[in-house]
């Protein structure tokens, strides 16, 4: 092969590789032909075959059409010498993505017995091709995923879980600090004066304001996202400690509110929710003196 021809082939391989990178879902022969219209199909087909051979591209079929998909060479995979069992298990785990897959499902899809499967999983783990992660959504059972993948929040529980245990104290602290921030903004708005509407508008804060405040406090060991703190603020809304509105850009704004007045004690009495109160009287079988529920409430 002449130097000029070799250089041309490398240029074709680069162009096809770049095209495949730009389309993660895969490219077709038609896409390649349109991308390099000045090159004959039989010439660029050789470049495609070489990319398939060296693992830069992988071939798959969807709805009776062939696609070429870019395969990141930095991603660890089973080597050519691996046995078929490892390749099958690897493919199953790869398809599970960052959600992972339970060993029972791997066994079902691979048709391997537990002894074979455990051997394959141990081999892939030793080579650091896959890893086992405990899932908070599956009773702390282990799920398997590719070694370089970051587990989805549905697996780890996100920022509120540490070693698969819910950090209730951490959540309480964040809840208190977020409420403090909203309350301080409300106090500042009241001090500035003006009409009720002006005070109300001044007391609203955005999620970015809250995120900046919590980040500067430095109370979190993990990197909290805006979405994480939005879930905290929503608990304040549910507890009637804050309210939220949508601004014209479709983003939520939050402000502190005064809680409802506490219910008077008589409202909590069993009489208030008794389904047969209309039959209760001073005489008869149903009366206050003989009422077990009323006596229990009075003795609380």
pLDDT tens-digit profile of 36-55? 888 888 888 888 888 887 77
- Domains of the chain with CATH codes: 3-70 (1.10.10.10), 84-156 (1.10.10.10), 168-256 (1.10.10.10), 265-298 (no CATH)
* Average pLDDT score over residue span 143-155: 79
List the single range of 72-86, 93-107, 147-161, 267-281 with lowest mean pLDDT.
72-86
Q: What is the pLDDT of residue 286?
A: 82
**The residue count for the chain:** 300
Q: What is the pLDDT of residue 3?
A: 37
Taking 70 as the threshold, does the pLDDT of residue 263 lie above it? no
Taking 70 as the threshold, does the pLDDT of residue 74 lie above it? no
Is residue 199 packed enough to be buried (19+ CB in 10 Å), middle (13-18) or exposed (0-12)? middle
CA–CA separation, 244 vs 204, rounded Å?
Answer: 8
DSSP H helices, 62-113, are 84-96, 103-110
Taking 80 as the threshold, does the pLDDT of residue 217 lie above it? yes
Nearest to 209 by CA among 188, 239, 229: 229
Contact between residue 223 and residue 238 where contact means Cβ atoms under 8 Å apart: no
* CA of residue 185 relative to chain centroid, distance: 31
Is residue 52 packed enough to be buried (19+ CB in 10 Å), middle (13-18) or exposed (0-12)? middle
Q: pLDDT over 90 for what percent of the chain?
A: 13
How many Cβ atoms sit within 10 Å of the Cβ of residue 12?
21
The model's pTM is: 0.46
To the nearest 10 degrees (0 to 180), the angle between helices 114-126 and 103-110 is: 110
CA–CA separation, 106 vs 95, rounded Å?
Answer: 11
Is residue 130 packed enough to be buried (19+ CB in 10 Å), middle (13-18) or exposed (0-12)? buried
Confidence band for 2, pLDDT divided at 50, 70 and 90: very low
Nearest to 137 by CA among 117, 160, 168: 160
Which sign, positive or negative, has the C-alpha torsion 155, 160, 163, 164? negative
Taking 60 as the threshold, does the pLDDT of residue 7 lie above it? no
The torsion angles phi and psi of 190, rounded to 5 degrees, stand at: -70, -40
Taking 70 as the threshold, does the pLDDT of residue 159 lie above it? no
Look at the block and give the residue holding tokens 């540490």. Answer: 162
Q: What is the pLDDT of residue 1?
A: 42
The torsion angles phi and psi of 71, rounded to 5 degrees, stand at: -115, 115
Contact between residue 149 and residue 99 where contact means Cβ atoms under 8 Å apart: no
Question: Cβ contacts of residue 207 below 8 Å, gap of 6+?
Answer: 226, 229, 230, 233, 251, 252, 254
CA–CA separation, 126 vs 109, rounded Å?
Answer: 22
How many Cβ atoms sit within 10 Å of the Cβ of residue 236?
20
Confidence band for 184, pLDDT divided at 50, 70 and 90: very high
Q: How many CA atoms lie within 13 A of 172 on its CB side?
A: 4
**3-state SS class at 18:** helix
């Amino acid at each position: 092969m002449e130097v000029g021809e070799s250089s041309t082939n490398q240029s074709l391989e680069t162009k096809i590789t770049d095209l495949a990178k730009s389309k993660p879902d895969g490219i077709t022969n038609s896409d390649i032909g349109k991308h390099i219209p000045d090159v004959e199909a039989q010439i660029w087909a050789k470049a495609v075959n070489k990319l398939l051979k060296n693992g830069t591209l992988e071939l798959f079929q969807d709805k009776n059409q062939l696609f070429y998909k870019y395969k990141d060479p930095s991603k660890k995979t089973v080597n050519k010498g691996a046995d078929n069992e490892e390749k099958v298990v690897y493919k199953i785990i790869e398809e599970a993505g960052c959600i992972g897959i339970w060993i029972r499902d791997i066994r079902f899809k691979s048709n391997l017995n537990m002894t074979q499967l455990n051997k394959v999983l141990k081999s892939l783990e030793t080579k650091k091709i896959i890893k086992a992660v405990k899932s908070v959504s599956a009773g702390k059972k282990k799920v398997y995923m590719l070694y370089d993948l970051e587990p989805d929040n549905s697996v780890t529980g996100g920022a509120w879980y540490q070693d698969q245990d819910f950090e209730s104290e951490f959540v309480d602290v964040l809840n208190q600090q977020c409420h403090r921030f909203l309350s301080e903004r409300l106090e500042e708005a009241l001090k500035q004066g003006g009409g009720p509407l002006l005070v109300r508008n001044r007391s609203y804060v955005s999620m970015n304001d809250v995120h900046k405040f919590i980040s500067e406090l430095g109370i979190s060991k993990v990197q909290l996202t805006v979405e994480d703190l939005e879930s905290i603020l929503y608990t304040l809304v549910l507890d009637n400690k804050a309210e939220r509105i949508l601004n014209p850009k479709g983003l939520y704004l939050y402000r502190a509110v005064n809680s409802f007045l506490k219910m008077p004690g008589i409202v909590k009495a069993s009489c208030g929710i008794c389904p047969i109160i209309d039959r209760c009287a001073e005489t008869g079988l149903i009366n206050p003196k003989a009422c077990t529920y009323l006596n229990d409430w009075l003795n609380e």
